[in-house]
Amino acid sequence: MKLALVVPGGVDRTGEFRVIPVLLALIRRLAREHEVHVFALRQEASADCWSLAGARIHNIGDGWSRLRAIRAIRDEHKRAPFDLVHAIFSGSCSMVAVAAAILLGLPSFVHIAGGELVALDEIDYGGRRRWKGRLREALVLRAADAVTAASVPIIESLQALGLKARRVPLGVDLRAWSPLPPRCRRTGRARLIHVASLNRVKDQATLLRALTVLVEAGVDFQMDIVGVDTLDGEIQRLAHDLGLDRHVHFHGFKTQRELRPMMEAADVLVMSSRHEAGPLVLLEAAVMGLPTVGTAVGHIAEWSPTAALAVPVGDWAALAEAIGRVLEDDELRLRLAVAAQRRAVTEDADYTARTFEALYLQVLTADSAR
| Nearest in space to 248 (alpha carbons), one of 191, 286, 300 | 191
pLDDT of residue 211: 98
What number is the average pLDDT over the span 210-223? 97
pLDDT of residue 370: 61
Asked whether residue 186 carries a pLDDT value surpassing 90, the answer given is no
Q: How far apart are CA 158 and CA 3, in angstroms?
A: 25
Q: What is the pLDDT of residues 58-116, one digit of tens each?
A: 999 999 999 999 999 999 999 999 999 999 998 899 999 999 999 999 999 999 988 88
pLDDT of residue 369: 64
Q: What is the pLDDT of residues 246-261, one digit of tens each?
A: 999 999 999 999 999 9
CATH number of 2-171+348-369: 3.40.50.2000
Under the banding of pLDDT at 50, 70 and 90, the label for residue 187 is confident
| Nearest in space to 298 (alpha carbons), one of 201, 181, 164, 174 | 201
What number is the average pLDDT over the span 212-226? 97
pLDDT of residue 195: 98
Three-state DSSP class for residue 88 = strand
Q: Are 27 and 51 in contact (CB under 8 A)?
A: no
Asked whether residue 183 carries a pLDDT value surpassing 80, the answer given is yes
Q: What is the pLDDT of residues 269-308, one digit of tens each?
A: 999 999 999 999 999 999 999 999 999 999 999 999 999 9
- Those residues whose C-beta lies under 8 Å from the C-beta of residue 93, and which sit 6 or more positions away, are 6, 7, 8, 41, 87, 110
The per-residue DSSP string of 28-79 comes to HHHHHHSEEEEEESSSSSS-EEEEETTEEEEE--SSSHHHHHHHHHHHHHHH
pLDDT of residue 97: 97
- Those residues whose C-beta lies under 8 Å from the C-beta of residue 360, and which sit 6 or more positions away, are 1, 3, 83, 84, 86, 107, 109
Mean pLDDT of the chain: 95
pLDDT of residue 21: 93
Q: What is the pLDDT of residues 115-138, one digit of tens each?
A: 888 888 898 888 888 877 788 788
Using only the alpha carbons of the chain, give its radius of gyration. Answer: 21
| Nearest in space to 177 (alpha carbons), one of 300, 259, 278, 270 | 259
Reported CATH class of domain 190-346: alpha beta
pLDDT of residue 125: 87
Q: Where in the chain is the domain with CATH 3.40.50.2000?
A: 2-171+348-369, 190-346
pLDDT of residue 138: 81
Q: Is the dihedral of CA 109, 85, 8, 359 positive or negative?
A: positive
To the nearest whole percent, how much of the chain has pLDDT over 90? 88
